[in-house]
Amino acid sequence: MLIEQSQLTNKNLDSKVIIVTGGGGGIGIECVRALLWLGATVIIAEINRRLEKIFLELKTIYKEKILFYPIDIRKETQIAKLLKKAIASYGRIDGVINNATIAPIGALDEIAIKEIDHSYKVNLRAPALFYKYSIAQMKKQNSGVFITVSSSGVAPFLGAYEIFKTAQVEFSNTASMELEGEKIYAFTIGPGFVKTKTAVDAIKKIASKYNKSELDMLALLEEHTLTPEAAGVGFALAFVNASKYHGKEIGCIQVLNDFNIAIPTEKNIKLHLSDSYKMELTLVTQKVLNTYTEQYKGWMKRIVFEKQWLIRDFKKQVGCSCEEILGKIQFFLSEIKTGYILKNAYSEYGFDKLLNYYKHQIELLKGYEKNQEKQREYTDILLSYCEDIQKISNIIEEIKNNGRGTSSNNAYTLRSLRSLRASPHFRLR
């Protein structure tokens, strides 16, 4: 089992009582397995009774440590009854992992309102209700963990899903602020793309809208796809590290990295690094990490509203949280030390998105910096950040080409970054 790589034991979550919604299949059941292995008592809150077979198999191993509770989380009365039963049976509630989801597909002007209502009830209202009915017990215990599963970013034809999953982030952030000073932790976690039934069904429906076949869409996602076990273990380990992640939006890759677990994806093609490439990549990556870390620490020192704007803008441009990018770069550095890196490391660890973010900052300069000399100074600094990131891409491309030299496309990209200084876009009008 992947969880065994964590170096934890069944004592880590012993005596903890955790509810996992949608825990009967996919990521949910893998999360349940990992939590049980860590010693927790787990209540599977699941609408699909056909999945009870998996529960029965686990019950032969974990006996009274596992309970299958059929529930429709769209109904408040059923959620209230579940929490009441859990407290009556176990005397406590130590955590809720809001894994259950549905993903309606369709353009915003075409999708039926009843589908949007359904999505709202499952993807946002249900987590809010679980919070309402569990938080009193957690406060009484002075301990607890509340986890929502996010999926934030603009996604055409998935708006009825993404809107409410993004709202989960704001819900969790608000809860974390209101719980400040308590030993109760709230945060969101994104699994990445995982080939669950929900995800694959969504790909089938959405592929034609992108003018691609289902196989083409899955192929595009293949190098970024986590296994269900990896995502589920990420959820479980996030619970263990809850105090560290409080108030943040994290990803499973970051969590697995924090526990030094090798990340299994659907396609792990690796490149071997010579000593010279290891040194070159380490130096430039460390430089990128130092730059980003300094910038991130600066954001965290801003007043709360300014900080929130910076974090939101970063996430909007990059597609994931500040902490997740930080974790990805740190993991890439650790991967370099092994002498092997993923073939698609540049995109896998978000360097392409970070590059675009710095380009975005250059564009923002035009709006708020009217002093021509300062604009040039700041632009030069941002361009140096871009060039450092581009060097990572150039080195990886060179390794792919067996040392035959940097590809012309990358060389052009680097030249084009430098040419931005002379662009009319940077002339004050």
Report the C-alpha gap between 312 and 327 in whole angstroms.
Answer: 18
Q: What is residue 152's predicted lDDT score, i.e. its pLDDT?
A: 62
Residue 101 Cα to chain centre, angstroms = 16
Question: How do residues 48-81 score in pLDDT, each as one tens digit?
Answer: 877 777 888 889 999 999 999 999 999 999 999 9
Question: How do residues 167-209 score in pLDDT, each as one tens digit?
Answer: 999 999 999 999 999 999 999 999 888 877 777 777 888 787 7
Q: What is the mean pLDDT of residues 109-124?
A: 95
By CB neighbour count within 10 A (0-12 exposed, 13-18 middle, 19+ buried), where does 305 fall?
exposed
Report the C-alpha gap between 350 and 356 in whole angstroms.
Answer: 10
Question: How do residues 223-276 score in pLDDT, each as one tens digit?
Answer: 667 888 999 999 999 999 999 999 999 999 899 999 998 876 555 667 888 888
Q: What is residue 134's predicted lDDT score, i.e. its pLDDT?
A: 97
Task: Name residues whose C-beta falls within 8 Å of residue 81's C-beta, 6 or more positions apart in sequence.
Answer: none
Radius of gyration of the chain measured on its C-alpha atoms: 23
List, in order of start, the domains of the chain with CATH numbers. Answer: 2-258 (3.40.50.720), 270-421 (no CATH)
The answer to whether the CB of 132 falls within 8 A of the CB of 88 is no
Q: The pTM is what?
A: 0.69
